[in-house]
Chain A
Amino acid sequence: MKTINFMGPRKIWFGISLALLAVGLIFLIINGGLNLGMDFVGGSSIHATIGKTFEVSEIREIMDKYDPEATITHAGQNKDQVIVRTKISFDNEKRAEIIKAFSDKYSIESKNISFETIGPTVGKELAMQSLIAVLLAFAGIMIYISVRFEWRFGLAALSALFHDTAMMVAAYAVFQIPVNGTFIAALLTIIGYSINDTIVIFDKIRENLKIEHSKKIDYDNLVNVSVTQTLARSINTSLTTLITIFALYFLGVPAIRDFAFPMIIGVVSGCYSTIFIASPLWVVLRKRFKVS
């Protein structure tokens, strides 16, 4: 197979990533941060199967009394379900009133109604705890790779992980998708996936490095050869993973879609960062900090 020159235009690859992240950052600033969902800022949601088609305005009429700014969306394959979300944490009585108004209007049984109310403190704790766990996991990965490979590989892999995490946050900033607990779960999955992806290529580089005997190693070429050799694997693994996520995204329920969307971003970013960020970065580090 012809060796593809991945390392040559590395400034372009870094540029693409930086540009995308800059776009995310701009949106983040314009919008004044991420659109934090009810898991983090508190709020309520009601999900009901109405059993027939309905107009959003009918629901709006009921909700106006409680929160005129509630978002009302259709759900379900037949568009016969409604999901109402608000940033107000309704108390027991208010929620009971709203649900009664719903079931009176459409005669819905209680087995077809779900609701959720979350106070703001719980989400903040979850976010903080997750952040600490993720940072410690990064540290663990760094140490393991430094022992099994060398620290340059560790730093490059970690940069790719930061890249993927930032990409997912950027996507949420640009599309103003509400950030909920599922986002954290998706983030964790992507960290596990992306590091796996990166190590396979690093393993190839390490192997080719061992059989390289010349005094003056051409690192650019070495990495080009390694990435080319593992390219089929990179593509196939990303494809099979994407197939399953797309199936969940297009055929799954709303709650699973919330999980699938960030995963799609993460898997694409994970595949990109392994080839175009982690590998070139290792070359840069290797040249800058020579092996004594």
Chain B
Amino acid sequence: MKSKSLILFLAIVLIISFFAYIAFFGLNIGKYEIVPAKDLIKLGLDLRGGVTVLLEAKDKPDDPINDEKMARAVATIRERIDTLGVTEPIITKVGADRIEVQLPEIQDPQRALDLIGQTAQLEFIEEETGKVILTGNDVKKAQAEFAPSKDGLGQAPVVAFELSPEGAKKFKEATERNINKIIGIYLDKNPISLPKVESVIPDGKGIITGSATMEEAGDLATLIRAGALPVPMETLSVTAVGPQLGANSFEQSVSAGQIGILLVFIFMIFYYRIPGLVADITLVLYLTLTLFALAAMKATLTLPGIAGLVLSVGMAVDANVVIYERIKDELHLGKTLRAAIESGFRRAFLTIFDSNLTTIIACVILFYFGSGPIRGFAVTLIVGVIISMFTAITITKIMLKLLTQGGILKSMRYFGERGVK
């Protein structure tokens, strides 16, 4: 009986260690590979670096915003971003009139911002009359290429464009009217090129000079090709995290968290002795299960998320503390250890149930009525509370019972109680 209990206890410890190992390090047996659960959890842009931009469509009374326009705006922004070669960009409509763009691990955030925010309304304007001849809608193709520079000595980056048949017709008429006059090319009312018309252009093909680099010409071509945003958008917020800085925050926060958790482990052993060690083992299981749960829910881990997770360990200990103090109470009443464990758990269960359910209720309400970060926080806390209830109540009980049967736990002295036999 004794040795059987101890073997079972060791088996449980081994199983927990095994799962903890998989969660943190993964497993690699031959061709079967299990990725560590911690790697399955997506890191937020604050930890891996990247840009988050929130845009808001500016409503005009004569031209109200509707879903169709917002959908076109999303599509336009997506097309612009595609040229940046970002892995997994996320572009989402938020509420009725906002668009959130997330670009992970981007190297040059400034360039991305220049591309995203502009309305990019292209206009060809007759200088003499100020009349708009063509807009971006008339352009069929646009691409960056090199053309002989004006001085004839080298090559300069330009945007070559081709107009739609209708646009070509309008352009032909306009060039006829404006020989030796200027037709300006404007992007969002800013002149990008002010060429003088030298001859009639009948085929709707032309170039836009004025780009300093090939990259600049490429971005301009992208803006023209993707077209103007159907509504002007205002940038509400921009957050850009340098990948190196993000990685540093991640490492430093994780190591701070590890030290905090380690100190809690030491405290528990110091105060509760062998049962304290049991609590620590269940805490390892708690952390492991929480990691698996977050991975399964495809949760994104952010900096406050790490803080929340570390903190939840401090709180998860509470269930164990409540149980152990209860068992001590029962022992003081003169019960045997086995009876004290049994009734201590039964009584502690009600306490833990009520206190945790209150927390869960608060979180569920926060989830329903909160937004973005608040919802993420609520979910993490709900998951943490439920898992800690399970690990503290069931696993601790099984392990304590096995230790008692195995003769390791003999009296309340093993709960760190001094001066009592």
Residues of A within 8 A of B (CB): 47-49, 77, 91-92, 95-96, 99, 109-119, 121-122, 126, 129-130, 132-134, 136-137, 139-141, 144-145, 148, 181-182, 184-185, 188-189, 191-193, 195-197, 199-200, 203-204, 207, 229-230, 232-233, 236-237, 239-248, 250-253, 255-256, 259-260, 263
Contacts and interface: CB of A to CB of B under 8 A. Distances in A.
Interface string B12-54: 0000000000000000000000000000000000100100001
B355 A111 contact: no
Contact of A256 (B241, B303, B358): B303
Nearest to B118: A92
Contacts of B117: 92
B236 A118 contact: yes
B359 A244 contact: no
Contact of A188 (B114, B256, B361, B377): B377
A247 B373 contact: no
A95 B245 CA distance: 18
B374 A92 contact: no
B365 A118 contact: no
A110 B107 contact: yes
Nearest to A45: B239
Given A240-B321, A244-B311, A253-B303, 16 more contacts: A91-B235, A92-B117, A109-B244, A114-B245, A133-B370, A137-B362, A188-B378, A203-B351, A232-B321, A237-B317, A240-B318, A243-B264, A244-B313, A248-B307, A253-B252, A253-B253
A1 to B, nearest CB: 8
Contacts of A132: 369
A77 B255 CA distance: 13
Interface string B344-363: 00010011001111110111
B260 A247 contact: yes
Interface centre among B306, B313, B317 (most CB of A within 10 A): B317
Contacts of A260: 307
Given A114-B241, A255-B249, A255-B303, A126 B371 contact: yes
Contacts of B303: 253, 255-256, 259
B113 A244 contact: no
B71 interface: no
A117 B318 CA distance: 40
B212 interface: no
A119 B235 contact: yes
B304 interface: yes
Contacts of A256: 249, 253, 256, 303-304, 306-307
A192 B238 contact: no
Contact of B237 (A48, A116, A207): A116
Contacts of B234: 119
Contact of B239 (A111, A116, A204): A116
